[in-house]
Structure formats: C-alpha cells, structure tokens
Structure 1
Amino acid sequence: MLALTGGNIFTMVGDNIENGTVLIKDGNIIEIGESIAIPSGTEIIRVNGRIITPGLIDAHSHIGMFEEIYRVEGDDGNEMTDPLTPHLRAIDAVNPEDLAFQDALKGGVTTVVTGPGSANILGGEMAALKTWGKTVEDMIVKFPIGLKAALGENPKRVYGTTSKAPHTRMASAAILREALVSAQNYIKKQENWINGEKDKHEPERDLKLESIGRVLKREIPLRVHAHRADDIMTAVRIAREFDLKIIIEHCTEGYKVADELARLNIPAIIGPIITNRAKVELQGINLSNGKYLEKAGVNFAIMTDHPVVPIQYLALSAGLTVQGGLSEKTALQAITVNAAKLLGLNGLGTLEKGQKADLVVWSGHPFDLRSKVELVYINCNLLSFD
C-alpha cells in the first residue's frame, strides 16, 4: 500500500484538495481526501507543496511508429502503396523501446493514442497505450480505438503526383464512400449467411472490410484527419450519410464551423498547437480555436501529433490554448478527463476513489514552464525523476 500525502490534488471531478492524501492499493485509489487514516505498514511519500494530477492523455500521436533518432528504419506510420489500408494495425508497428516513451513519462504523459499517419484515405486501426511497458501487450489500454481516415492535401500529394486517385478532394470523398459501401455489402452477405443461407458457401473473410465494418457497426469511431473547414464538413457529411461515429482530428479551422459540430455532437482533437503554417491547410491556424470550440459546446481534447510536437510538450500545448483565451480548467481537462471521456477510456483522467491510480506529481502547476515531473505512478509502478 502507498500513500502520497501533503499534495495539492487536482481531481478533475470537483474542487482541488489542499494538503490531501492519495491512498493506493493494488494499482487503485482506495481513498482520497484531506484527512485520510493511513493503515500501519503503508509506504508514505510526502509531497508537500507539490501538485498531483491524473496522468496526462495525448489523444493523437504517432509515438512508437515514427521513432526517435531513426529515419526510414523506424518510420512505420504510412504505408504509401495503397490509399485504402484499413486493415493495418498500429500495434504491429509500435516499438516499445522508442525513446519518446521515456520523454512522455518525464512530461507527465501516461496514456497515448498512436496510429498511422495521414497518407491514405483509410490508414489503419489506432491504439491507446500506456507509456510504460516492455511489450505492446503490456501497454495496451484499448485496441482498436478508432480507424484512421484522412481528407485534404495529404492523400492528394501522395497519390495525385503518381497519376493515381485521389488527385482531387472529390476523389478522396468518393474513395471513402466506395469503401464504406463495399463494407456494407460485405456485412449484409455475412448476416444473410448467418441467418439461414446455409446452402451457400460462407463468405470469405476480408480483413479490410472487417475493419471498416467495425466503423459501420459503430463499434469504433472513424477518426478523420481534417484541417480546413471544408474538409471538416466533408467528413461530417459522409458520417451523416452512413450514420457513423466520427472524431475530427486536428480540426484546425474548427472555430469556423464550431456551432455545426456542437449541434451534431461531433467531438474533436485539436492540434498540434506549437506549430507554424507549415503547409497550406494550416493557413487558418488560430490559437483561439479551443476558446471558440468551448464557447460553442464542442467536446474536444488536445494533441501533440508527436513527433510533430515532442510528446513531452503536451502540457505546454494545453497551456498555450489558455493564452488563446481557453479557460485553464478546460485546457487541463482536454488532456485528462475530457480526453478520457472522448476516447472511452474508463478509469482514467480523474483522481477519485475506485479509479485506477494513474497520476503525476509536479513541482508546480503543469502549465508553468518551470514545473518538473517528480513522480509518476503508472501500471502499479512508481517512477521517480530528478
């Protein structure tokens, strides 16, 4: 049993707890509050004057797939040979020894979503992982956590220059629709065989269509890379046609269509925040994007898009949205509790009795550049950093 005492606890579900204690047993929080009876034999760590938060959640990255240090040797995020590769699985590309996982822990990030890049219309299935573990199996929190899709300039740039579709935004949308219709037909054949057409041969398995089928059955969301407002609305249009759950990834110009996203209850993961207008689609980048999404009532999280922004700068990214007018509370929620809810990660993102003990001890406020991560509790392990 472990007790962290004397800290200022940011529970993310109510008021902060001053001079509080977190009591942990078997990886779970069994008590939390100001006056907690600590059983004899408990290991006590005094964190007086420190801040305790839930472990941070990076809702969109490519950690472990675009590895630190390496170039082509560790570049496993984009299969640029076919615009439709929904059957690819992030878990088959992640290297747990990617040095970025160490950086994540030192930056207070204990949970990440990683997945394919945006070269393809459908890129593959994404995974939620802990940032500590020897194997991917040790690290998996939820898989699949979504199917990566991409609209806009990236698929056009990859395939249009080779005289292969998509060469236009129209083709990108059409290819996505065709894939969804093919999966609908595949599901219907499977259902017909199960429901009585036993005289016919069972339809052969198709891994691509099975993956898209999980989206059509609303088992997982379609997570659509879309920066510009017009691409965002194309994603929305297709989602409504096929009754899909979607998440808008990046959502750079989300502020232009925030009311529409809110009306349709479509969530977003915004970022990268620490970037310039590196490509045409980022012309409309606006540090106040989060503020406008919050005002409209859009549920959103904040990403690093690692390695675009190094994963250890997730807290800094969220802090910069406060400079853009987002409330400090919402900014912190966007990398903790709101990110967990948006991703369907039960037991993460808050500090409360009965939740998993997944937490970080900071020397100061996470948004303060001078603050350092001192302790991380993750997967029943207490890690310390000088």
Structure 2
Amino acid sequence: MSKGMKKLVIKNGQIKTMAGREFLGNIMIEGTKITALFETLDDLPADAEVIDALGCLVLPGFIDAHCHVGIGEEIYRWEGEDFNEMTDPVTPDMRAIDGINPEDEGFRDARLGGVTAVFTVPGSANVIGGTGVVMKTAGKIVDKMIVRDPAGVKVAFGENPKMVYGEQKKMPMTRMGTAALLRQTLVDAQTYKDKLEQGKTDPDKLPERDLGLEVLVRVINREIPLRAHAHRADDIMTAIRIAREFDVDLVIEHCTEGHKIAEELAELGYPAVVGPLLTNRAKVELKDKSFKTPGVLANAGVKVAIMTDHSVTPIEQLPLCAALACKAGMDKEDALRAITINSAEILGVSDRIGSLEVGKDADIVIWSEDPLTITARPLYVIIDGRIVKPESREGGIYE
C-alpha cells in the first residue's frame, strides 16, 4: 500500500460483489479505491481503520438511475425548482450541473437509504430538456461529486411537453409536434456537425458557435445517449423510431407500459429505467403502472434499472421499490442488479461504480440484513472510501 493514504478494512462480512461473487470475507480500501477482496484475513495494517461486519451483508452502494436530487429541492417551492426551463420546448444547452445544490436534503436522505450515486436530470416539460449528470451523494461542491458529465440528453414524449406548450398555444400541442421538433433539431445537429468538419479545412465555413447543437453533436457521435421520458407503449416506440432514424443511443426512461412490448424492447436492445412505481397514477399515461413491469422486462431480456424519480418517490425508498418489484414477481438477483450494476452500465459508469471489484470506487454499504426486507438498515455507508453514515444531522460529512 502507498504510504500516507487512508486505509479502511471491512472484515467478516457476507460480501456480495454484484460481479458474480459472494463470499464471507474482507475488503481492503486505500484512499478512494477498493484494493483487495479476500476471504482470509491475515495481518491488518497498523494504521488501518477497521469495521467488523460480522453477520452483515456488504453490497456496492445503490444507484438511482433517474432522479432530480439537487435541482428539485423538496422543502422549497419555486426557490428550489430548477429542473424545468419552461420558456422554450428545445433547450439542449441547459446543464443540470448548473442548478444542483449540494445542500439539498435529498442528498442526506439518499445516503441514509444506502444510495451512493444518482443520475440527476432535467425535467420533462420540454421536448429537449438538457443534459444530466452522474454524481455521488456526498460532498460540498458539485464539481467534485461528478462521476460523468454529461451522461445523457433528456428528451420527453407524451403528455408533459404538449401540456406545457399547448397551454401557451405553441408547438408542440400534439405528439406529432413533439416528434417533429426532436427530428428537426437532430437534423440541425447533423448539419452543424458537417459544417464543423468543413471548417477544419475551410475556416470560412465554420459555423457560429451554438451550445445546444454542440451537445447534440455528441449525441449524433454516440458519445452520450438520448434519455427518453416515455410512459406509453406508443411513445416508447416513437422514441425508438427516431433513435433508429438518426442512429443514436437511447435509454427509455419510466417505461411504464414497457411490459406490453417487452419482447420487442428486448429484440431491439434498448435498456429501460423503470419508475417511479411507488406513487399514485397522477396522469392518464400512468393508468397501467405496475410493480410487475421491471420483472417482465428483465425476464424478456431487457437490461433494467429501477428509479425513484425523486422527489416523486423519496430517494431513500429505492431499495423498497426494488423489494416491491420482487413481491410482484421480479427475480431477487435481477432486482439487486437493477439498483447496482445495471444502473451503472446504463449510465456508462460501470468502470467506477455498481459492483465491488479491485480498482473501483469504494462506494460500499454494510446492511444489517438483506436490503430487500422491510426491516433492513444500512449500518455503514461509505462513499469514495469515507464513512458518511453514521453522521450527525448538523455535522459536515467531509470535515
């Protein structure tokens, strides 16, 4: 081990790596990274802090693959509502990072529920809402919490854009209008990309800089995906139709009626982030909401993550959402994957988080028992090798 780096050892725990290994053993952490997983504990480093996890289950930190923590502060009204720029239906230049408040109570709630990372994304008022970020749930400065930025561009289908702009008597007032605006903007991005290429050899052809189109060129180049808010099966298929037309990557968000087209989604190969499920049917397109959906999709072969859409469902209830999906028929292993490694893979950050492996970030939760039981408690929550739970309500976590 390197001298001077903080060392932490978790010993005697039932370790479930979410990378195909489960064993009674120990984890060595140096600085922010996992440096060893081993069954036999020999001599401990003299300067290591030790947590005895005997009788406990040790898992990677949970990941909420779609929420609004930090930009939708639940104890505020307009003061903390920073996730929908409802002045134009096409705003790809909006960046979630610019609206995130690390002091949002949602971050503390996440930690107390064993959620160590989130994808925070703009809302669904606009056809194109802007970029979202993957970040840790502990820290004082958002820039230091980031795992990936941008991690996708939010686009929205269905009721929300047509409601917001229909009331303003402007496009889109229909689902057709939503699709048309998205298509045209992607065409504009293709044209912008072509001009950028031409400008490399002929400066006179270099276009005036456009921040929104710059973002969408990254989508066209398949550097980041479209993250498509779509509840109804027909809206899901419209999102897929457009993604295929422009040959871009796509993640289906919400996917409320995904169970109706599970085989088709599996065949087409698009992942789904399902939820929020622990909520009421607040609008018509949620009429067939069911906790069975994640299990049906997983059984069909779709890569599935489960989300809270916090603050629609409080983020600390992410494991409860997974447990209720199990109650409705989802395989337990699939449910755990849906809030760990599947989420990380869908978000493009599985090289750092989502499983317990050497070289990955030390984001670890020690549970009193199986977290998919109602009485389970996270006894220790570790993010980047630092214990962030237990914590006092008043005290800072990174003193």
Q: TM-score, normalised by structure 1?
A: 0.97
Query: Which residue in the other structure is 1:349 paired with?
Result: 354
- Between 1:351-360 and 1:161-170, the stretch displaced more is 351-360
Matched residues in 1 for 2:276 and 2:205: separation?
A: 49
Match of 1:236 among 234, 240, 249: 240
Q: Which runs of 4+ in 1 moved over 6 A?
A: none
Matched, 1:222 2:220: no
What is aligned with 1:51? 57
Q: Is the 8 A contact 2:361 2:385 kept in 1?
A: no
CA contact (8 A) 1:184 1:216 kept: yes
Q: Select which of 262, 285, 289 maps to 1:285.
A: 289
1:167 to 173, 186, 202: 173
In structure 2, C-alpha distance between the alignment counterparts of 1:34 and 1:127, rounded to whole Å: 36
Q: Any residues of structure 2 matched to 1:55-134 within 5 Å, and which?
A: 55-134=61-140
The residue number in structure 2 matching 1:361 is 366
- Structure 2 gap segments, 5+ residues each: 1-6, 392-399
Give aligned pairs, total: 383
Deviation at 1:61, TM superposition (A): 0.2
Instruction: Give per-residue Cα distances to partners, 1:14-37, cap 9 Å, x unaligned.
Output: 24212x111111222222132133
Which moves more between the two structures, 218-227 or 271-280? 271-280
Amino acid at match of 2:51: I
CA distance, structure 2, for counterparts of residue 348 and residue 51 of structure 1: 18
CA distance in structure 1 between the partners assigned to 2:388 and 2:251 by the alignment? 33
| Aligned counterpart, 1:202 | 206
SS in 2 for 1:370: coil
Which residue number corresponds to residue 5 of structure 1? 11
Whole-angstrom distance in 2 between the partners of 1:77 and 1:185: 29
1:201 positional shift: 5.1
Over 3 Å counting, the alpha-carbon distance change for 1:169 and 1:33 in structure 2 is same
The C-alpha deviation readout for 1:183-218, integer Å capped at 9, x for no partner, is 111111111111x223x2531100111111111111
| Matched residue SS, 1:257 | helix
1:349 CA drift (Å):
0.9
Counterpart selection for 1:211 from 204, 212, 215? 215
Partner secondary structure for residue 338 of structure 1: helix
- Cα distance in structure 1, aligned partners of 2:35 and 2:374: 32
Amino acid at match of 2:106: A
TM-align CA RMSD: 1.1
Distance 2:193 2:29 in 1: 46
Deviations 1:72-118 (Å, cap 9, x if unpaired)? 00000100000000000000000000011000000000000001100
SS of structure 2 residue aligned to 1:192: helix
Aligned to 1:40: 45
1:375 aligns with 2:380: yes
Q: Return the alpha-carbon distance in structure 1 between the equivalents of residues 371 and 157 of structure 2.
A: 34
CA contact (8 A) 1:232 1:251 kept: yes
Q: 1 CA distance for matches of 2:19 and 2:384?
A: 22
CA distance in 1, matches of 2:206, 2:279: 51
Matched with 2:394 is none
Is the Cα contact below 8 Å between 1:110 and 1:378 reproduced in 2? Answer: yes
Q: Distance in 2 between matches of 1:176 and 1:314?
A: 31
One-letter code of the match for 1:287? F
Distance in 2 (alpha carbons) for counterparts of 1:38 and 1:378: 25
- Please tell me whether the aligned partners of residues 138 and 388 of structure 2 are also in contact (alpha carbons under 8 angstroms): no
Distance in 2, Cα, partners of 1:143 & 1:110: 17
Alignment partners' CA distance in 1, 2:298 and 2:45? 46
2:389 corresponds to which letter in structure 1? Answer: S
The alpha-carbon distance between structure 1 residues 288 and 225, as it changes in their structure 2 partners (threshold 3 A), is same
On the 8 A contact 2:259/2:297 being kept in 1, the answer is yes
Superposition deviation, residue 226 in structure 1: 0.1
The AA in structure 2 aligned to 1:361 is: I
Counterpart among 25, 31, 38 of residue 26 in structure 1: 31
Name structure 1 gaps, 5 residues minimum: none
Q: Aligned partners of 2:43 and 2:191: how far apart in 1?
A: 60
Match of 1:110, SS state, is strand
1:177 aligns with 2:177: no
Candidates 260, 264, 271, aligned match of 2:268: 264
Separation in 1 of the partners of 2:16 and 2:167? Answer: 50
Task: Describe the SS at the equivalent of 1:157.
Answer: helix
Fraction of identical pairs, as percent: 51
- 1:100 alignment partner, SS class: helix
Give, as a single letter, the amino acid of the residue that structure 2 aligns with 1:37.
D
What amino acid is the match of 2:298? E
SS at match of 1:9: strand
Q: In 2, Cα distance between the equivalents of 1:98 and 1:38?
A: 42
User: Does the aligned pair in 2 maintain the 1:273–1:320 contact within 8 Å?
Assistant: no
| Letter matched to residue 172 of structure 2 | P
Could you give the per-residue CA deviations for residues 37-67 of structure 1, whole angstroms, max 9, x where no partner exists? 3433022221211111100000000000010
Worse-matched range after superposition: 218-227 or 24-33? 24-33
Once residues 87 and 174 of structure 2 are traced to their aligned partners in structure 1, the CA distance between those partners, rounded to angstroms, is 18
